[in-house]
Amino acid sequence: MSDTGRTDLATRRLRPDAEGVASAAALLREGGLVAFPTETVYGLGADAGDGRAVAGIYAAKGRPSFNPLIVHVADAEAAGRIVEVTPLARELMAAFWPGPLTLVLRSREGAAVSPLVMAGLPTVALRAPAHPVARALLEAVGRPLAAPSANPSGRVSPTTADHVLAGLGGRIAAVLDGGACAVGVESTILALEPEPRLLRAGGLPVEALEQALGQRIAVDTDPARVAAPGQMASHYAPKGSVRLNAVAAEPGEVMLGFGPVGGELTLSASGDLREAAASLFGCLHRLDAMGAGRIAVAPVPETGLGRAINDRLRRAAAPRS
């Protein structure tokens, strides 16, 4: 039986040791849904070749079915069984995998990936995570894993197993608890054809990609575009309203600080963008837990990881549909 649509599962919290990883792998091979840590955020994994299991992801997240999923693989060789790896893609994989870079590439004829994963597109988004628990799990399962962030659709991405259980407990078989995610924002998404295009700013700064490619990369993160259908304007939303670029809280607001702008919570008191990325979603979850109805956020510079942070903050502040 697939667990599609069920809300009464006793979700297991598995330890990130050999036994926990083996249990998680067994559940995934049976078509179950298991959340696992990556260096960016927790993913909600399913066997990418099992259409019923993939359908379970959409059901558990309450996600619109036109939204394609990222496929997680161990390495470039595994990627080559699913997509056409161009010379440029091979270079980027050698430079940045495993790590927080997702590449969108043309799928291969007969690739063992459910069409539901691609949601009708001729391309697949692929990444090789660096987190040791994710790598151990991919090795134990021996199959590519489709995995979006492990949160209900439209809500804040999870960076701890507790966040996963708060959002999806009862809807998934298990979560592998690997502690807090080091990067804290999702992977950078790059499409390669016909020209390199940034579809989502993320954990790998676009400047690093531009340096490796020796060229400027066009930015194509317009939420209205079909190219990245998951990039809905209202996304990553805490329950309260969000006001950006605030230098002080107005009456009734809870302040989320950065650098010299202090607050009840801060992304990074020292103004460190890595620390801010790692703490961003945890802060938004804490603001939810505090019942913050109105949130003011300090300005964050638009460079390096600041682009990914500001992208998530703008979505958090967008009008809700």
Q: How many residues bind ligand TXA (CB under 6 A)?
A: 29
**Closest residue by Cα to residue 113 from 87, 149, 143, 90:** 143
Instruction: Rank residues 169 and 299 by Cβ distance to Mg ion and give the closer one.
Output: 169
Question: If you search the block for the tokens 């792998």, which residue do you land on?
Answer: 25
98 binds, among Mg ion, ligand TXA, none (CB under 5 to 8 A by kind): none
Q: Count residues near Mg ion (CB under 5 A).
A: 1
List the interface residues with ligand TXA, window 30-49 (CB under 6 A).
38, 40-41, 43
For helices 161-168 and 273-290, the axis angle rounded to 10 degrees is 40
Tell the smallest beta-carbon distance from residue 201 to ligand TXA (Å).
12
CA atoms of 197 and 193, how far apart (whole Å): 8
Contacts of 62 (CB under 8 A, 6+ apart): 152, 153
**Residue placing its CB nearer to Mg ion in the complex, 150 or 265:** 150
Length of the chain: 321
Tell me how many degrees the CA angle 230-287-177 measures, rounded to the nearest 5.
Answer: 65
Q: Which entry of Mg ion, ligand TXA, none binds 41, CB below 5 to 8 A by partner kind? A: ligand TXA
Q: According to CB under 5 A, which one of 102, 123, 149, 268 is a site residue for Mg ion?
A: 149
Q: What are phi and psi of 13, to 5 degrees?
A: -100, 115
Is 300 one of the binding residues for ligand TXA (CB under 6 A)?
A: no
Q: Write out 167-184 in H/E/C secondary structure.
A: HHCCCCCEEECCCCCCCC
The answer to whether 161 contacts ligand TXA (rule: CB under 6 A) is no
Q: Which of residues 81-140 bind ligand TXA (CB under 6 A)?
A: 102, 104, 118, 121, 123-125, 127
Q: How far apart are CB 267 and ligand TXA at their closest, in Å?
A: 19
Residues 44-69: b if buried by 16+ CB within 10 A, e if exposed: bbbbbbbbebbbbbbbbbebeeebbb
- By a kind-dependent CB cut-off of 5 to 8 A, residue 38 interacts, out of ligand TXA, Mg ion, none, with ligand TXA
Site residues (vs ligand TXA, CB under 6 A) = 38, 40-41, 43, 67-70, 102, 104, 118, 121, 123-125, 127, 147-149, 186-187, 189, 199-200, 227-231
Q: Which chain residues interact with Mg ion by CB under 5 A?
A: 149
